[in-house]
Chain A
């Protein structure tokens, strides 16, 4: 077994063990910690000198080989892009499990709770590490099912079952559209395999007919788009995150949602470049919908958890802009943003979850002046809010700058459509500053309302996982090269393949 296979299988086996009766919380924490150690070990041993799409730590087991059907194998491997996302998953998984309530505090089955968290994290890691298209898709589905269950069973609010249904149907339809697109792509290529690098090589050698590419890209855009809450398919996201248990919101908004963006970068863009070009303007309109329209919706929110839910929808617009730029700078920025946003939104949901456990409903007008009695909470929230706004020093800044530069670049003279879109998107920075600072003011500044009993500050048990996330954000913010050294050659490779 290769270390990467162990990395993927460990959370799944731990979930099985927890489900069968092993002590749930220690098993989950242990597995998540080992996963993070292995992921860091892989990052250290990753060879950054290799250009092009070359999997490292590769392993492959053929599972189905019959005439007339693409070869299927349980194959894992990493390039720079997936390595960064695996790191993100490992970080968020560990902090989510650490932040999850003690077994005695869970109403219902704690075995189900921890097994689900491990399945979500393990499924995400599996999806990012798979080099076989089927397993890339299947691991994501594996992570979705426990997400639905967790929201429906352990979510809060009276509407949790309805919300669970909504997200199930939205993401179920998204997955189905995606599946149709993927099958169409594999079948149009006729390469007789699900191996991603072979598929991409086949697409580079003899591109799919541009008309078919248009259809494939549209299906993949809608499919992946629903999963990433691309406007106008976003309406599942904010209620789901607001009502989900905090660790699930952290894992889904932070990690699992990035699957859609990853799929666009890894599959849709290189497989159907002509299709991407054809639908560029549509993508631009939609992503402006994410950034500007959802941005304004976010400002209008009156509850912290819903506001965070909408803000996570909004920030996806930047990632789409980076991908729409379809050049090395923009796509690298998008990948870096996946990492940065994953950490910052997980940090915010973690904080919001802790506050909800203590204070109940998170309406802004119930709060005020918490910074004085709870300075550590205020400080951590401030850091997270600044990161989310994209202040220099945080990974989000490095990512957004790259995206804007990438989107504005190009040989053509004058204002192309994407340049106009970039100008529009820049306003998003102002919008996020408005809602994040307003949220900070509502919660932490001013006078403490008489009815609010602030209680003690963040305990160490909550501080450690949150600092873990913050550390990642600051490290990648001060030294983006830490991650860019992995991302750059991989994205270069993407365009080498794409250009033939």
Chain B
């Protein structure tokens, strides 16, 4: 099966959901999400049957790269995260309904819910496309497909001030960053006379390059990508948006959007890093951004009291480690490549972050507002959820035998090989800070007594949710013991 069928199927699936919502009078619209999940499972299986194209001649292949293991891996990540997000959305339905418009008398009690399940599919298609985009235009269009879907999803709870505020912030800053991106693309085209990434790489590596023009392009693109990645100093939107958005959307944003930003950053900056005229300057800037991001994300996470905000800062901190790998691109063959480190990191990040958000959503009926204090004594109320969160936190902190450890280790190894000593030192301090604030949650779950308000409130977790959490726990541990299994998927 040709690889681009996958995106087409996902888009079609999204359209089918919209049609079913519009024309089939569903009793309970959550069936839409279940249908979507089913479809995505099929798409995930189809990933393993993708065939390489016979020839890459023709106009399509100028916009869309031939499939390699890395791009398929990222498509898999996109499908997997969308799948889990839909699962969360099912649990989150009551909250969304309570925060959207009250239906007219006689209207469907779940009016306006269908799109909440269909939109993630369009974002998923965009994410998948992005993994294969190799032309500035297709990068831009796929990135915007994702962003625009997210603008809607973030502000979806229109009766909720927090959600609206998050939506407005995200929209305005996102649009601004898009402007930077397009402007940067224009300069890049001016410097290289091409829009195709392979040709751009060639032009940047060629002698006689106008370095100033190319660096200007780099700077503009960096602003845009730092915004998408949540790298300092363009990270300011992250905490507010993460806190305000509906939790499943926050999860999607932190996993899907970050993965997309990371792969685009990797694709766009690899030509710059491979250019003898530019590499040193580009590396210096990336190192500086990485240091800033690590310091800011991890130190600002320390005093947080809201769990979603904490995860927001932690997501900034994790971007710092991704940038650490990117800034340490090796000059000689036979070393680890940034794509290996970044792909592994994102895979690990996806597993552990989704697990944390699954727990948050599962606890939403009994814990209002995601304050960390409310997680006190969770181990006694629900040992399973506490254990799941413990594994997720351990992995985010980078404790050995979890996936997060190797993610960080690969980034550190690359920085060590590249000789970025300052970056390494900052990274170690950042990791130590992370150790503290992630474990703080584990400690409050296990060591404290449950709050008074929790007396007699039972926590119920659906079987499907439990199964998915157990699966994620298992995958985190497998990737932490045998990272070769994951690396084999993309290298």
B439 nearest CB neighbor, chain A only: A168
Query: Interface 1/0s, chain B 102-124, versus A by CB < 8 A?
Result: 00000000000000000000000
Contacts of B337 in A (CB 8 A): 68
The segment from B153-161, B167-175, B260-268, B411-419 found at the interface with A is B411-419
Bound Cα distance from A112 to B399, whole angstroms:
20
B31 CB within 8 Å of chain A:
no
Asked whether A152 and B446 contact (CB < 8 A) given A66-B487, A67-B336, A109-B383, the answer is: yes
A172 CB within 8 Å of chain B:
yes
B401 CB within 8 Å of chain A:
yes
Tally of contact residues, A, Cβ under 8 A = 36
The segment from A77-85, A137-145, A235-243, A308-316 found at the interface with B is A137-145
Bound Cα distance from A137 to B399, whole angstroms:
11
Contacts of B416 in A (CB 8 A): 183-184, 187
Asked whether A64 and B380 contact (CB < 8 A) given A142-B400, A183-B412, A183-B413, the answer is: no
Contacts of A401 in B (CB 8 A): none
Tally of contact residues, B, Cβ under 8 A = 37
Query: Which residues in window 287-341 of A have CB below 8 A to B?
Result: none
Q: Closest CB-CB distance, B34 to chain A, in whole Å?
A: 29
Q: Closest CB-CB distance, A314 to chain B, in whole Å?
A: 29
Query: Which residues in window 51-96 of A have CB below 8 A to B?
Result: 62-69, 72, 74
B436 nearest CB neighbor, chain A only: A169
Asked if residues A141 and B334 are in contact (CB atoms below 8 Å), the reply is: no
Contact partner, A64, options B405, B428, B482, Cβ 8 Å = B482
Task: State the main secondary structure of chain A at its contact with B.
Answer: helix
B431 CB within 8 Å of chain A:
yes
Tally of A-B Cβ pairs under 8 angstroms: 86
A63 nearest CB neighbor, chain B only: B482
Contacts of B448 in A (CB 8 A): 161
Asked whether A187 and B443 contact (CB < 8 A) given A62-B484, A142-B400, the answer is: no
B489 CB within 8 Å of chain A:
no
A149 CB within 8 Å of chain B:
yes
Contacts of B484 in A (CB 8 A): 62-66, 72
B481 CB within 8 Å of chain A:
yes
Q: Closest CB-CB distance, B344 to chain A, in whole Å?
A: 10
A161 nearest CB neighbor, chain B only: B447
Asked if residues A69 and B447 are in contact (CB atoms below 8 Å), the reply is: no
A259 CB within 8 Å of chain B:
no
Asked whether A134 and B400 contact (CB < 8 A) given A64-B482, A66-B340, A183-B416, the answer is: yes
Asked if residues B400 and A137 are in contact (CB atoms below 8 Å), the reply is: yes
Asked whether A161 and B443 contact (CB < 8 A) given A173-B432, A187-B413, the answer is: yes
B335 CB within 8 Å of chain A:
yes
Contacts of B432 in A (CB 8 A): 172-173, 176
Contacts of B11 in A (CB 8 A): none
Contacts of B269 in A (CB 8 A): none
Asked whether A67 and B335 contact (CB < 8 A) given A62-B484, A176-B431, the answer is: yes
Asked if residues B482 and A164 are in contact (CB atoms below 8 Å), the reply is: no
Q: Closest CB-CB distance, A244 to chain B, in whole Å?
A: 14
B435 CB within 8 Å of chain A:
yes
B483 CB within 8 Å of chain A:
yes
Query: Interface 1/0s, chain B 470-491, versus A by CB < 8 A?
Result: 0000000000011111010001
Asked if residues A68 and B330 are in contact (CB atoms below 8 Å), the reply is: yes
B37 CB within 8 Å of chain A:
no
Contacts of A64 in B (CB 8 A): 482-484, 487
B410 CB within 8 Å of chain A:
yes
Q: Closest CB-CB distance, B398 to chain A, in whole Å?
A: 10
B469 CB within 8 Å of chain A:
no
Known pairs A153-B447, A172-B439, A183-B413 / 10 extra A-B pairs, C-beta < 8 Å: A62-B484, A68-B334, A69-B413, A72-B484, A138-B400, A138-B401, A141-B400, A141-B401, A152-B443, A187-B416
The 20 sampled A-B contact pairs (Cβ below 8 Å) are A64-B483, A64-B484, A66-B487, A68-B330, A68-B334, A68-B335, A68-B336, A69-B410, A69-B413, A72-B484, A74-B481, A142-B401, A145-B399, A153-B447, A161-B448, A172-B432, A173-B432, A176-B432, A183-B409, A187-B417
Ranked 4 nearest A-B pairs via Cβ: A68-B336, A138-B400, A64-B484, A68-B335
Which chain B residues have a beta carbon within 8 Å of chain A's beta carbons?
Answer: 330, 334-337, 340, 379-380, 383, 394, 399-401, 405, 409-410, 412-413, 416-417, 428, 431-432, 435-436, 439, 443, 446-448, 481-485, 487, 491
